[in-house]
Amino acid sequence: MRVILLGPPGAGKGTQAVRIAEAFGIPHISTGDIFRENVRGETKLGGEAKRYMDAGELVPDEVVVGMVADRLAQADAVDGFCLDGFPRTVPQAQALEDLLVDRDAPLEVVVRFLVDHDEVVQRLTGRRSCVDCGAVFHAEHAPPKDEGVCDKCGGELVQRDDDTEDVVLNRLDVYRKQTEPLEHFYWERGLLRDVEAVGEVDNVTERALGLLREYAS
Ligand code: AMP
Residue 71 has pLDDT above 90, yes or no: yes
Query: Does residue 171 contact residue 9 with C-beta atoms inside 8 Å?
Result: yes
Structural domains in the chain, CATH included, are: 2-27+74-115+172-212 (3.40.50.300)
Residue nearest to atom 14 of ligand 1 (CA): 32
Residue 170 has pLDDT above 80, yes or no: yes
Instruction: Say how far apart CA 83 and CA 109 lie, in whole Å.
Output: 11
Q: What does each C-alpha distance from 197 to 11, 97, 105, 202 come to in angstroms?
A: 6, 26, 28, 10
Task: Give the model's pLDDT for residue 160.
Answer: 86
Render 170-191 in DSSP notation, one character per residue.
HHHHHIIIIITHHHHHHHHTT-
Say if ligand 1 is within 6 A of residue 35 CB. yes
Q: For 134, phi and psi rounded to 5 degrees? A: 85, 0
For helices 31-40 and 44-55, what crossing angle results, to 10°? 120
Residue 145 has pLDDT above 90, yes or no: yes
Nearest residue to 209 via CA among 79, 21, 81: 21
Quote the mean pLDDT of the chain. Answer: 94
Task: Give the model's pLDDT for residue 205.
Answer: 97
- Model confidence over 118-144: pLDDT tens digits? 999 999 999 999 988 888 899 988 899
- Mean local confidence (pLDDT), 88-103: 96
Task: Give the model's pLDDT for residue 134.
Answer: 82
Helix (H, G, I), strand (E, B) or coil at 150: coil
- Mean local confidence (pLDDT), 165-173: 93
Given the CA of residue 31, which atom of ligand 1 is nearest to it?
16
Residue 58 CA to ligand 1 center (angstroms) comes to 6
Instruction: Say how far apart CA 217 and CA 215 lie, in whole Å.
Output: 6
Residue nearest to atom 8 of ligand 1 (CA): 32
Cα angle value 178/34/11 (rounded, 5°): 50
Residue 121 CA to ligand 1 center (angstroms) comes to 17
Q: Percent of the chain, pLDDT > 90?
A: 88
176 as an active site residue: the answer is no
Spatial CB neighbours of 143, under 8 Å, sequence gap ≥ 6: 137
Residue type, 143: P
Q: What does each C-alpha distance from 204 to 48, 57, 164, 168 come to in angstroms?
A: 35, 28, 26, 23
- Model confidence over 39-60: pLDDT tens digits? 989 999 999 999 999 888 999 9
Strand partners, 156: 149
- Mean local confidence (pLDDT), 164-181: 94
Say if ligand 1 is within 6 A of residue 124 CB. no
Residue 217 has pLDDT above 80, yes or no: no
